[in-house]
């Protein structure tokens, strides 16, 4: 039995390796294997006034991100049902509460002060385990945490560690909006978009030119990022052209779609049809 298990593992590894070779010169788009059965109710949780004085601007940025998705979906797929109901949850109504305590919300957008554990700008938690409340919980950090390590090489030898200092700075409203727009794609069921034959774009901003779901975003950039044509085509792949609450067949494919899949548009469409 152990030998058989090893053989199976080796076969799986070989398949993965061969698939990587096959798609070595293509773009790839991931899916998360989830979809909302009806129009999502988006709840934007008011940021805590203790760590930001731009709560209203941040909430407006969240609304703008949702609007970008809705506008692009209707633009490219006008016959679909792409309506989002967006509401704001005041701080006094959600402080010290969990996402599961808001059963009416299917996409929750919340804000925390700073991420001291890693450089993640935000994350999306998916809970589709209960039929009574399936939701995506987006968490954004309003401030950037940076650590600088200082070394002394004045003696001419190997640089010696002296100290570390840290700095906490607020993200710009544009940066927060871009991060929300990206995470909102995850909340709809989209994975990351990857370019394996980069560079194919004229600028160094693939999250602007290629896909809002490109796996890396520069928070220092002040250009507003919008869903691209390939992003909308992937949403159509998940929900079909009739949108939320419509067709649910064929079964949702989980994993990576590649340039060889006819149901999505590749980077060429981004260039000519963005």
pLDDT digits 0-9 by tens, 173-203: 999 999 999 999 999 999 988 765 544 555 5
SS3 of the chain: helix, strand, coil, percent, to 5: 30, 25, 40
Helix (H) or strand (E) holding 7: helix 2-22
- Region 204-212: mean pLDDT is 76
CATH of domain 27-273: 3.40.390.10
Q: How confident is the model at residue 14 (pLDDT cuts 50, 70, 90)?
A: very low
Q: Is 39 exposed, middle or buried (0-12, 13-18, 19+ CB in 10 A)?
A: middle
What does the pLDDT read at residue 190?
Answer: 92
What does the pLDDT read at residue 111?
Answer: 96
What does the pLDDT read at residue 250?
Answer: 57
Closest C-alpha among 172, 104, 91, 187 to residue 139: 187
* pLDDT at residue 128 greater than cutoff 60: yes
Least confident of 66-75, 86-95, 143-152, 218-227: 143-152
- Region 96-105: mean pLDDT is 95
Closest C-alpha among 102, 72, 71, 68 to residue 87: 102
What does the pLDDT read at residue 18?
Answer: 26
């Amino acid at each position: 039995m152990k030998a058989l298990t090893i053989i199976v593992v080796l076969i799986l590894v070989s398949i993965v390796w061969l698939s990587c070779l096959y798609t070595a010169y293509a773009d790839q788009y991931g899916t998360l294997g989830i979809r909302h059965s009806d129009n999502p109710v988006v709840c934007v949780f008011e940021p805590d006034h203790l760590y930001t004085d731009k709560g209203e601007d941040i909430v407006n940025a969240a609304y703008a991100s949702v609007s970008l998705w809705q506008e692009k979906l209707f633009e490219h797929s006008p016959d679909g049902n792409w309506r989002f109901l967006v509401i704001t949850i005041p701080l006094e109504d959600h402080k010290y509460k969990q996402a599961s305590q808001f059963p009416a919300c299917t996409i929750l957008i919340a804000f925390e002060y700073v991420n001291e554990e890693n450089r993640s700008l935000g994350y999306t938690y998916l809970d589709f385990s209960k039929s009574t409340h399936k939701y995506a919980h987006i968490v954004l950090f309003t401030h950037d945490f940076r650590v600088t390590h200082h070394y002394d090489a004045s003696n001419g030898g190997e640089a010696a560690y002296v100290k570390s200092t840290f700095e906490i700075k607020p993200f710009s409203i544009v940066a927060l909006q871009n991060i929300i727009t990206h995470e909102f794609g995850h909340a709809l069921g989209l994975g990351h978009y990857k370019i394996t034959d980069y560079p194919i774009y004229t600028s160094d901003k693939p999250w602007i030119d290629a896909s809002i779901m490109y796996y890396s975003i520069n928070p220092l950039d002040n250009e507003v990022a919008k869903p691209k044509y390939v992003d909308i085509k992937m949403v159509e792949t998940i929900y079909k052209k009739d949108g939320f609450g419509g067709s649910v067949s064929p079964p949702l494919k989980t994993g990576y779609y590649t340039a060889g899949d006819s149901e999505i548009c590749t980077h060429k469409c981004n260039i000519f049809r963005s």
